[in-house]
Amino acid sequence: MSQTKIISIIIIIFLTLIFIALSIFNQDFAIWLKLYWIDLLLAAIMAIIAALVIELVYKKAAGKSNLSKTTIAQKPRKLLAKLVLPDNKEFIINQYERTFGREDFVGLLVMDDLLFIGKNHFNLTRMDDGFYIEDLETKNGTTINGEQINSLGKIKLRNKDKINVANVLTIEYIEQETEY
């Protein structure tokens, strides 16, 4: 309940108690009250309506709070990402964190090339602003668009980045942003 409503209720209760006290202890007031009770009822109703209108005007005039003026609210978004392999097979990334390694590429590469890829080669992590890739300290490394990312930590991926895994496999990173 708003502060204005609470104050209005308190004032109405206070005035009602005054009218009751005056009608009990003052006979002239009791006679006056019997003659003009309809007028008093209408005045009370008008006072309540006036209080509600004043509150409505106040809310409209006050506008937004400082917090809502300085805070940017973004629409929720769902980031869909996929890794496109050379044979057009796709890995859909639907987890917040996913580790890729040798076993993920079985059947795509010959066994000799698979041995260059680490058992746990790179990690993809979803954060608020997109997906990040991290090489997991592998012997043959990972490159993004031709740049080595070994021991650089998490690197933000951009749409259509080329991920080269151990110099034996090139994967294209594709992202699509959708609203919930």
Q: What is the CATH number of the domain that holds 83?
A: 2.60.200.20
Residue 180: per-residue pLDDT: 47
pLDDT digits (tens, 9 = 90+) for 11-53: 878 877 776 766 666 677 667 667 777 777 777 788 888 888 8
pLDDT range class, residue 87, cuts 50, 70, 90: confident
**Which has more confidence, 149 or 73?**
149
**Helix H or strand E segment including 15:** helix 3-25
Shared domain for 31 and 95, answered yes or no, is no
pLDDT digits (tens, 9 = 90+) for 131-156: 999 999 999 999 999 999 988 899 99
- The proportion of the chain whose per-residue pLDDT surpasses 70, expressed as a percent, equals 78
For residue 68, what are the contacts with CB-CB under 8 A and spacing of at least 6?
A: none
Shared domain for 113 and 162, answered yes or no, is yes
Q: Give the domain extent around 155.
A: 77-179
Shared domain for 53 and 117, answered yes or no, is no
- The domain boundary, picked from 37, 69, 101, lies at 69
**Residue in this structure with the two tokens 């506008």, named with its chain if needed:** 63
How many domains does one find in the chain?
2
Shared domain for 59 and 41, answered yes or no, is yes
Q: Is the pLDDT of residue 76 over 60?
A: no
Exposure string (b/e) for 90-102, b if CB count within 10 Å is 16 or more? ebebeeeebebbb
